[in-house]
Amino acid sequence: MGWRFHQSDDIREPTEGPRELSLLQLGSVDEIAKTSLLMGCNMATANYFRPVEKKHSHLFPVPFELLGMLSKTLHIRNTCFRTLPNPTPYSWDRTVFSTRRLTMAYGRLITDDDIMEPTTTQIEAIADLGSKVEIASSEDARTNVPGYSMGLLHTLHDALDQCDAYLKEKSEDLVLTVLCKHLQTVLTMINDLKDPDNDPVKTLYAAIPKWCRARRFDELSGTDPENTGAMLMNIYFCVVLHQVTHHVATSFSQTRSTRSEPSRNKGKPGMAAAVGPTSPQLPPASLPFFNTEAVETQAAHIWCTLILRMLCWLTLHDFHPPDDVQISKSGLLGSPMLVYIT
């Protein structure tokens, strides 16, 4: 079970499994794996969710990142109701992290010229949006009911609307590719404890204070909770962002090379190349020269927007810890079998 935004007027329509991203189903590890495939992730990424021995968490389970990046804003303006049913099989535990500290760390890193180079107009706009959220969060922390002040809720809602407006202007293929590469990178790093050892990472870490340096997610365990947010964001900006932009550019480069080659199946019926989420189209309007730097810049803009959207969504919405989780459903759930009551 998950957020199922039905487009059909027929409420009897069975939901046997994820078929489109308007039906974001994250109610079991199998549903999460299928949803990741639907987004365009490769099988290796989807398989991280299936084996019991695989890990899916850093400070919190990775499926909550998908919720924050893709879910509709369910909070109703001018209300303080922000608690939702947890649509995942994972517990939501805020005692080990703070979304406010994560947002503060995000704001510090996105405005760091050594980390975000070169600084663009879009990065400045995203940083300004993050700054507004950070200020509202700081003011909210001084109220009698932290997390529920109308100023904070309005700011978060506005930030989500602006993030959505920006993302909707971009190619869906490009946005989903960035999201898939992010998910793939994070899950690989969680399960692979190798220390990233490359020149870009070493250069970026020279600008990071020693008290919050981290290159691997396993370094977050046993750390002072006040520092874990900064350490997680450092890993994201210094390691994950670099890998995501590189993988996205490589993906588009390979797609372009494939399309520039003469088709070996020309003239054979039914053999036309299918273009899907795993072989994204490069939008000519937004990336006119098809060069690596342009793709990486666009990917960085989208990645920063998705991360900010995730932080805002997870701050605006909340779940009941720790027992509110999805449990395995009966095989009859969503079955079109007719039942006669006499």
> Tokens 């997390």 map to which residue?
147
Q: Express each pLDDT in 10-44 by its tens digit.
A: 333 334 444 566 778 888 889 999 999 999 999 98
Task: Select from 187, 234, 184 the least CA-distant residue to 212.
Answer: 234
Task: Select from 50, 63, 82 the least CA-distant residue to 24.
Answer: 63
In a domain, 327, yes or no: no
Give how many domains the chain has, as a whole number: 1
What residues form DSSP beta bridges with 285?
none
In a domain, 110, yes or no: yes
d(CA 234, CA 101): 12
d(CA 299, CA 241): 9
> Tokens 């020269």 map to which residue?
289
d(CA 127, CA 311): 13
In a domain, 232, yes or no: yes
Tokens of 82: 């922000």
Residue 53 has pLDDT above 80, yes or no: no
- Give the residue numbers spanning the domain of 140: 3-9+16-259+277-319
What residues form DSSP beta bridges with 61?
57
What residues form DSSP beta bridges with 83?
318
Q: Are 314 and 179 in contact (CB under 8 A)?
A: no
What are residue 61's phi and psi, to 5 degrees?
-60, 140
CA distances from 228 to 16, 105, 223, 317 (A): 39, 10, 6, 21
Concatenate the DSSP letters of all residues of 29-52 into one string. HHHHHHHHHHHT--HHHHHTTSST
Residue of 61 and 327 predicted with greater confidence: 61
d(CA 10, CA 2): 18
Confidence of residue 197 (pLDDT cuts 50, 70, 90): low
In a domain, 329, yes or no: no
3-state SS class at 191: helix
Model confidence, pTM: 0.80
Burial grade of 287 (CB within 10 A; 0-12, 13-18, 19 or more): middle
Residue 103 has pLDDT above 80, yes or no: yes
Q: Can you say how many angstroms the Cα of residue 77 is from the centroid of all Cα atoms in its chain? A: 24
In a domain, 51, yes or no: yes
In a domain, 144, yes or no: yes
d(CA 153, CA 265): 55
In a domain, 332, yes or no: no
Confidence of residue 167 (pLDDT cuts 50, 70, 90): very high
The strand pair at 318-319 and 83-84 is best described as parallel
Residue 176 has pLDDT above 80, yes or no: yes
The pLDDT value recorded for residue 342 is 61
Q: Express each pLDDT in 247-292 by its tens digit.
A: 999 988 776 655 544 443 343 333 222 233 333 444 444 444 458 8
In a domain, 336, yes or no: no
> Tokens 């293929």 map to which residue?
173
Q: Express each pLDDT in 130-166 by its tens digit.
A: 999 999 999 999 999 899 999 999 999 999 999 999 9
Instruction: Give mean pLDDT, residues 194-213.
Output: 54
- DSSP state for residue 60 in the 8-state scheme: S
CA dihedral 122, 126, 132, 136 (to 10 degrees): 170
d(CA 158, CA 299): 23
